[in-house]
Amino acid sequence: MQEHLHDYFTKEEEFLTKYDGSALAASELLKNDWLPNRKCNDSSRRQRDTLLEAGHLLGLAFDAAAVYHNLHGFSSVQIVLRSSQRIVNVRVAHLDGQLVAEKLVDRRRRDE
């Protein structure tokens, strides 16, 4: 079934407000390499960006999430996570009434 982009989030707290279950499914898949930051705000994002730019962000942090819908509503979300060493993309799909997470990308970061 065809999907279309329904929403795009760059602020973790806004994403978690609507899609906390998907974030938890991604976190469980990653064996807690990433834990959703429910206290994320502009200040913590600036701190994250400073650490990332300096090469000192050791743990994965939320970068963005794209939410997709099909004819029946929510179908999946792709969550992009970054650290100074890695970029990870996790897709969480709604299949047979359950949220199923799969890792699409997990690679070492190259200097940008």
The tokens of 104 are what? 């699409």
83 neighbors 65 (Cβ within 8 angstroms): no
pTM beyond 0.75, yes or no: yes
The C-alpha atoms of residue 54 and residue 27 are separated, in whole angstroms, by 25
**Could you report the per-residue pLDDT of 43-89, keeping only the tens digit for each?**
999 999 999 999 999 999 999 999 999 999 999 999 999 999 999 99
DSSP state of 25: H
Q: Give Cα separations from 103 to 41, 53, 78, 107, 110 (angstroms).
A: 26, 25, 10, 11, 19
**How high is the pLDDT of residue 112?**
54
pLDDT reported for residue 98 = 95
Tokens of 45: 């994002």
